[in-house]
Chain A
Amino acid sequence: MQNPPVFFDNDPQSELSTLNLGPTHPATHGVFQNVLQMDGERIVSGVSTIGYIHRAFEKIAEHRPFYQITPLTDRLNYCSSPINNMGWHMTVEKLAGITTPKRVDYMRVIIMELARIADHIICNGVLGVDTGAFTGFLYMMEYREEIYEIYEEICGSRLTTNIGRIGGFERNFNTIAFNKIRKFVKAFPAVLKEFENLFNRNRIFIDRTKGVAPVTAETALSYSWSGPLLRATGIDYDVRVMEPYSSYEEFDFEIPVGENGDVYSRFLVRNEEMKQSLRIIEQALNKIEKEPADIFHANVPEFYLPPKEEVYNNMEALIYHFKIVMGEVETPVTEVYHAVEGANGELGFYLVNDGGRSPYRLHFRRPSFINYQMYAPMSQGMLLSDAIINMSSLNVIAGELDA
């Protein structure tokens, strides 16, 4: 698919007109500008502009010790920031050869799956809003709130979480956190069922989504799509299964795949993924009970940032704290690529280390950036109203375009 050039002159004799879809239009879910050439309601061609909000994360990362890069990662996909945090910590662990205890792996799995659910809640909820159904969104938002409360119980913050440390977690999950997780896992399936009942057999919703913006598996691969978008086209690529991290190989779950690669398939795939995530969380909760309750990080004092109370009362901890914060820890000179299954697809961290205080080069493979580039080409020939629905089904998070 090639983009034909867009005419900017708005020639009154011409039957085509130029339309700016965004930036800051409610339907574009962020500051995306799409300059569309329209023939009436139909899009003839389009060009996407994603700048100029460049926050220079990769550059900043070249000047920061490993821990101080964590807050950069959770500002990539802010709808599921724990996945980003832990992906980054796992990259550093891979670099430094740190093995985490099983309990840490399970705790991470729980948090990452909760984050995936939170992300899919937004995406599918908003897809409903864009088709004119606000109710489903409201039903589901309450449960995203509950997930945020779980984050808050674990790390003290809700959106940009900074959950975790290299080697494990800053603190153990307390009973309140576990209770909140159990409460969520128990209550959410019924809500999801209700949500599905509202949409899956809804004539209007199906008319608006089924067969809209279909993508073949071949095209999706050619555009390097990953995550639910790729799986909706029928390809069962999931990093959790292909290259398991954090003990995912021990869990029993399925990879939902779609058939048509259209908006409806993406919606269904995300719904199914939420169910699978719940399954994984339940298994993880069971597994975690068999692990020693007081181990929540690996024994790597030169990498694991000690808790504040230890820093104040323990000389060793103070020294390690200083060394870690100033980036004085020794790391091997090598390069690492580590990928996790983000809510939108393969979230990769490419880290080149020269043994210095900060990465020599850090590159984020952001799934939204790669997924979004197909938006303008695939909108060709589409009705404007379909293009809006298509955008919400792509679930592009503006923070992930940028790096």
Chain B
Amino acid sequence: MGKITNQEVLDKIAAKFGDQVSVIGEPHSLLTVETGREQIIDLLTFLKNDATLQFIFLTDITAIHYPEQEKPIGIIYHLHSLVNNVRIRIKVFVADGDVHMPTATVLWDGANWMERETYDFFGVVFDGHPDLRRILNVDDMTVFPMRKEYPLEDPNRVDKKDYFFGR
């Protein structure tokens, strides 16, 4: 385990941000918090630059889609403090018609392609991104294919329908 505990990380965040950051849980001992897009860059900056925490490594940025939620698009950051060997997961949820997020490229150069990928698949617009274009799909594509409204399988296929399994 790392040199500092999740509770210490959480205490530091709570002291600085109060109720602007809420805790979702610690699934498999990975501290998971949720915040709003107004605070996200401040939070990331704090986590990266704080002398004790030092979450200097941006592991990953990705997104998730919960169509039934009021704010369906979640943007998920994984950070890693290489000094303390602690990871943290940060989630920000945004509404479907308003998928703007501030870019994390101001903090990490590596956020560039991760955000392009997230834009490509979920349509999250990262404001201030230097080069927000699609990265894996063709430029003239109009949909964001990882969203749940674009099912993969042939809709005529019935052999895997849930009602055959008593669900």
Taking beta carbons and an 8 Å cutoff, which residues of A are in contact with B? 1-3, 50-54, 56, 58-60, 62-63, 94-95, 219, 221-225, 235, 237, 242-243, 326, 328, 334-337, 339, 346, 348, 350, 352, 357, 360-361, 363, 365, 369-370, 373-374, 377, 401-403
Contacts and interface: CB of A to CB of B under 8 A. Distances in A.
Interface residues of B, number: 40
Interface string B50-64: 000000111110101
Given A2-B130, A58-B146, A352-B64, A222 B109 contact: yes
Contact of A328 (B28, B65, B165): B165
A242 B165 contact: no
Given A51-B135, A51-B138, A52-B136, A361 B152 contact: no
Interface string B79-94: 0001001010100000
Interface stretch (B13-21, B36-44, B95-103, B110-118): B110-118
Given A52-B136, A350-B76, 4 more contacts: A223-B109, A326-B160, A365-B59, A370-B110
A117 B145 CA distance: 36
A131 to B, nearest CB: 28
Contact of B78 (A53, A328, A337): A337
A56 B60 contact: no
B149 interface: no
Contacts of A1: 109
A357 B56 CA distance: 36
30 contacts: A2-B130, A3-B131, A50-B135, A51-B137, A54-B136, A54-B137, A58-B121, A59-B145, A62-B152, A63-B153, A219-B109, A221-B82, A242-B85, A334-B27, A335-B27, A335-B32, A335-B89, A348-B60, A350-B60, A350-B76, A350-B78, A361-B65, A363-B60, A363-B62, A365-B78, A370-B114, A373-B112, A373-B113, A374-B110, A377-B109
Given A224-B108, A242-B85, A373-B112, A50 B60 contact: no
A237 B27 contact: no
Those 8 A-B pairs whose CB atoms lie nearest each other, nearest first:
A224-B110, A373-B113, A223-B110, A54-B136, A363-B62, A365-B60, A222-B109, A334-B27
A374 B109 CA distance: 9
A361 B78 CA distance: 15
A328 B78 CA distance: 30
A320 B3 CA distance: 42
A379 to B, nearest CB: 15
B30 interface: yes
A357 B164 CA distance: 13
A323 B85 CA distance: 38
A364 B113 CA distance: 14
Interface of B: 27-28, 30, 32, 56-60, 62, 64-65, 76, 78, 82, 85, 87, 89, 108-114, 117, 121, 130-131, 134-138, 145-146, 152-153, 160, 165
Contact of A326 (B64, B65, B87, B165): B165
Contacts of B32: 335
B152 A63 contact: yes
B34 to A, nearest CB: 13
Contacts of B110: 222-225, 370, 373-374
Contacts of B137: 51-52, 54
Contact of B89 (A52, A337, A377): A337
B60 A221 contact: no
A10 to B, nearest CB: 21
B85 A243 contact: yes
Nearest to A224: B110
Contacts of A60: 152
A59 B145 CA distance: 8
Nearest to A61: B152
A360 B153 CA distance: 15
Contacts of B138: 51-52
Nearest to A53: B136
Contacts of B64: 352, 360-361
Contact of B59 (A51, A56, A94, A224): A224
A235 to B, nearest CB: 7
Q: Of residues A94, A326, A350, which shows the largest number of chain B Cβ atoms within 10 Å of its Cβ? A: A350
